[in-house]
A and B are shown apart, each in its own frame.
Chain A
């Protein structure tokens, strides 16, 4: 038994939403204003990291749209990639719960819950994509 590719399509759409939220976060949390106090190279590193994370998430989304069958089929490459995505999004849930500032999360409760739900869904779907072909084998 394998996971239905439909779950992977939904995961692709969610990843596009999370990637686009980075643009929104720039304005809402006024990153650029706060970064002005930093040396230019650290500011540039922050911006490069931000753009790279967005592009990586868009890349993940495209792979989900075009290779949903491959990601759920249980073959080594698909399972390796799904495993990486499970760790990526699972750790995002842990960071949200245990690393990000609690006061800030409370002040932005709606976004906090939406991100947790999205990241939790993504982690769960990719864990199932890795595990289902193994546990249901034979």
Chain B
């Protein structure tokens, strides 16, 4: 686990770069999936809410990407860093679960490129889930078995 701890700053930095790449690529998603044509059928308010939410998700990913370019901030063992890394972990784990258990792929565009892009995206989501999960455990000092002071199975696990 100490080996993982040593590489964690680099892994978090790569996760940040990955999220910045994701937001760059995701600018093409509305065109590939023809959202503009589809949402044109909606009432103005629902259409505007759709695009506003899309923009907010995009900017949230941007913020996660930018803050991850400063791994020391996210790995400083502080309660705030633990909560932020926990939050980002839940965000990406949820995204992986939605991909596998919620999205209907029956009318996804055909083609090898689309399948490859989808596989790359899922790979990235899984990587992000794992890295931020590891960062959370690092902040909770689980690797050193010292997490904010609670004794679990004879080991100090919550709150020192």
Residues of A within 8 A of B (CB): 25, 29, 31, 34-35, 37-42, 44-46, 48-50, 52-53, 55-56, 59, 62-63, 66-67, 70, 76-78, 80-81, 84, 87-88, 91, 95, 99-101, 104
Contact = CB atoms under 8 A, between A and B. Distances in A.
By secondary structure, the B interface counts as helix
By secondary structure, the A interface counts as helix
B42 A34 contact: yes
Given A34-B43, A56-B60, A101-B44, A95 B52 contact: yes
Nearest to B102: A44
Interface string B16-43: 0000000000000000010100110111
Contacts of B94: 52, 55
Interface in B89-128: 91, 94, 98, 102-108
A12 B69 CA distance: 27
A114 to B, nearest CB: 17
Contacts of A50: 53
B41 A38 contact: yes
Contacts of B45: 29, 100-101, 104
A101 B104 contact: no
24 contacts: A29-B49, A34-B43, A41-B108, A42-B33, A42-B35, A44-B103, A46-B53, A49-B53, A50-B53, A52-B94, A55-B91, A59-B87, A62-B83, A63-B87, A66-B83, A67-B83, A76-B73, A77-B74, A78-B80, A80-B73, A81-B80, A84-B63, A88-B60, A100-B45
